[in-house]
Amino acid sequence: MKDYYQILGISKSASQEEIKKAYRRLAHRHHPDKGGDEKQFKEISEAYQVLSDQDKRAQYDKFGRVFEGAGEPGFGGFRWGWHAPPSDVDSDEEGFGFDFQDIGDIFDDFFGGTGARRQEVKRGRDIELEIEIPLEAALKGTEEKISLLKFITCSRCQGVGAEPGTPVKECFSCRGTGQVQQIKRTIFGSFTRMGMCPECGGEGLKPEKLCNVCKGEGRINGQEEIHVSIPPGIDTNQVLKIERKGDVGRRKGKGGDFYVRVIVKPHKLFRRKGDDVSISIPIQFSQAALGDEVEVPTLEGTAILLIVPPGSESGKIVRIAGKGIPHFAGLGRGNMYVELKIQTPKKLTKEQKELLEKLRQQGI
């Protein structure tokens, strides 16, 4: 007979806190995920589950065993049932915990999880593609034609997977249910679960004669031209979703989605920040000192007249409202900011030098 106190290395008078500390220390050391012995880990867990429960501990102290679930495979009369270990056992132990993946799978099967997975098997793969557009396209919006290599519907069988004129019959293995019974063994014991039928892929149906072209897939590798509408105001790394334009699903399964990641290329003149754009314009010293009107290009391709205020310094920023990028999710546009850069002439004529010398004498 197993001695649970000896397994945890504690005395029979140990408090609940001492039991918990002993379990944490031993379970952390012997956990299979950390290279420990699985059998020893099971015994430690079994001992803790009994001794941490006042009623089970009293029963164990009196009779030498716990009678619930006697005869459960692999647990020597001890049974986890559907109980989870106390939540505070592993809350402060880094890298240690229980894996309830198997129990989660079983609940999924009980409550329709398998049906959802059947749909995922037939569903086509999502496809993501990256395209580049000029900044002017982000201003006005554009439409791109993309030739996409992907799975398309088989033209011979129209996606059914069977040779034309031949029937699609009920799967013999699963009797049309798309599921077969499986026995799954875990550290919590053996469980019977329903799994996807490997013969029909969970569809419940099988073509009597597979299509000669797609070999029963209902789809083939091909090319499709897709029109992608890119709205005004789009920015770099924004992703557009085009539903059902990814890979076609198996045997008329739901198609995947097509995701287009947009990259807006840098412009040779304009710099973008959000929905605003900026540009640097060279001006002469006389224009900065006396003021003037200068032509400034815009993203539309036309030029506008900008008034340079008298006494402008190099680096001065002038805002032109409504000449930036349209707002992606609303009305209106951003602004355009013009930076004035005073140019210093590299070469001067004799007359220019004389004029500048006179200005210097005037303190300018």
Instruction: Using the CB atoms, write b or e for 299-319: b if 16+ within 10 Å.
Output: beeeeeebebeeebeeebebe
The confidence score (pLDDT) of residue 181 equals: 82
pLDDT digits (tens, 9 = 90+) for 200-223: 878 888 899 999 999 999 999 999
The first and second tokens of residue 19, run together, are 């039991």
The confidence score (pLDDT) of residue 195 equals: 82
Closest CA to 262 of 137, 98, 140, 361: 137
- CB-count exposure of residue 22 (10 Å: 0-12, 13-18, 19+): buried
Separation CA 322–CA 243 (nearest Å): 34
For the chain, state the CA radius of gyration: 37
Residue 29 · residue 41 · CB < 8 Å: no
Residue 28 · residue 40 · CB < 8 Å: no
Residue 183 · residue 192 · CB < 8 Å: yes
Helix (H) or strand (E) run with residue 194 in it: strand 189-196
The confidence score (pLDDT) of residue 66 equals: 62
The confidence score (pLDDT) of residue 27 equals: 83
The terminus-to-terminus CA distance of the chain in angstroms comes to 106
Task: Give me the CATH topology for the region 127-264.
Answer: Chaperone, DNAj Protein; Chain A (2.10.230)
Asked whether the CA dihedral 218, 220, 224, 229 is positive or negative, the reply is positive
The confidence score (pLDDT) of residue 59 equals: 80
Give every residue of the chain whose pLDDT is below 50, as ranges: 69-117
**pTM higher than 0.75 for the full model?**
no
Domain residue spans of the chain = 4-98, 127-264, 271-361
**In terms of CATH architecture, what is 4-98?**
Orthogonal Bundle (1.10)
The confidence score (pLDDT) of residue 120 equals: 56
The first and second tokens of residue 62, run together, are 């009196």
The confidence score (pLDDT) of residue 121 equals: 59
Helix (H) or strand (E) run with residue 74 in it: none
Phi, psi torsion values for 18, nearest 5 degrees? -65, -35
Asked whether the CA dihedral 100, 104, 105, 107 is positive or negative, the reply is positive
The confidence score (pLDDT) of residue 187 equals: 65
The confidence score (pLDDT) of residue 119 equals: 53
The confidence score (pLDDT) of residue 86 equals: 43
Phi, psi torsion values for 326, nearest 5 degrees? -60, 145
The first and second tokens of residue 360, run together, are 């210097």
User: In the CATH scheme, what is the code of domain 271-361?
Assistant: 2.60.260.20
Ranges of H-type helices in the chain = 4-8, 16-30, 38-51, 54-63, 101-110, 113-122, 135-140, 285-290, 350-361
